[in-house]
Amino acid sequence: MLQGHERSITQIKYNREGDLLFSCSKDQKPNVWYSLNGERLGTYDGHQGAVWCLDVDWETRKLITGAGDMTTKIWDVEYGTVIASIAAKSSVRTCNFSFSGNQAAYSTDKAMGQNCELFIIDVRNADSSLSEQAPTLRIPMVESKITSMLWGPLDETIITGHDNGNIAIWDIRKGQKVVDSGSDHTAGINDMQLSKDGTMFVTASKDTTAKLFDSESLMCLKTYKTERPVNSAAISPILDHVVLGGGQDAMEVTTTSTKAGKFDSRFFHLIYEEEFARLKGHFGPINSLAFHPDGKSYASGGEDGFVRVQTFDSTYFENIFE
């Protein structure tokens, strides 16, 4: 149980080795923790608004955060200093490093007369001059705002999930849309996470389902149904398991919700689409989930401001679908 945020968690992420867990929340300060014992290593101070998203590059050198204060910041993970701060015209909703760590992408909200836009920046030798440089690519989103984003394989494409349930793949060399999913989801997409090999990704949507998609063709492969909006979903790196977390919108939460099991983490079998386990824990909706890279534990961040790291016992690794 990691306690250090004063307001609800918006996103959590492990680094590639899994020894560090990064979390951001609405209290303006992203944190980094030791995932093994839950000790807080430090905070990244500098944002003036709720931090909506974060990502860490594969060498754990740089951290990127996007916030409601209309900036994207790139941090030095080790020293906690801001390398670059890039101003946007509205709050930054998603941000991600590419797999190589050479580029980063972020998207802004549709607000204050500004359209939602997707930006791609070069972060190879990022320094304070990055804030004056023009992004390498900017794509305006006319139809619906981006609520979730992933880099495709080989840093050539970006997969975006939208407020209207649509998913699209953008070719960043051409700067245009190459694949469109159609209307598999009927409501906004809250979260998308890739499988370990990057061939598939799982989406979490307000339409109470999570779906598994092929990351090249956007073909819907599997659907995991629940009764309430799904805020986050993650794929196990070692087993055919998917974990889903959600609950109601924060404004509809009542005191009886916890008893009714609305805030459980729910485990589904990746292929059979069957729910096989539930884990209690949070006193509010789960906003973000992440599997440890070794697949032996997972973390969840909730509306209650806590991050919980749960380690699986040996029975979890036994094959129950035989």
**Looking at residue 255, what is its pLDDT?**
53
**Looking at residue 254, what is its pLDDT?**
55
**Looking at residue 189, what is its pLDDT?**
93
Dihedral in degrees, nearest 10, Cα atoms 149, 152, 155, 161: -20
Asked whether residue 57 is assigned to any structural domain, the reply reads yes
Asked whether residue 277 is assigned to any structural domain, the reply reads no
Q: Which domain holds residue 99?
A: 1-142
Asked whether residue 105 is assigned to any structural domain, the reply reads yes
**Looking at residue 223, what is its pLDDT?**
94
Asked whether residue 87 is assigned to any structural domain, the reply reads yes
Asked whether residue 255 is assigned to any structural domain, the reply reads no
CB 108 within 8 A of CB 91: yes
**Looking at residue 259, what is its pLDDT?**
55
H/E element holding 97? strand 92-97
Asked whether residue 137 is assigned to any structural domain, the reply reads yes
The SS3 call for residue 289 is strand
Asked whether residue 33 is assigned to any structural domain, the reply reads yes
Closest CA to 128 of 188, 73, 192: 73
**Number of domains observed in the structure of the chain:** 1
CATH code at position 94: 2.130.10.10
Closest CA to 235 of 308, 291, 158: 291
Asked whether residue 8 is assigned to any structural domain, the reply reads yes
pLDDT tens, the chain, 322 aa long:
778 788 899 999 999 999 999 999 999 899 999 999 999 999 999 899 999 999 999 999 999 999 999 999 999 999 999 999 999 888 999 999 999 889 999 998 887 777 888 999 999 888 888 878 888 888 888 888 999 999 988 889 999 999 999 999 999 888 888 988 877 888 899 999 999 998 999 999 999 999 999 988 999 999 999 988 999 999 999 999 999 998 766 555 555 555 555 788 999 999 999 998 898 888 889 999 999 999 999 999 999 889 999 999 888 888 766 5
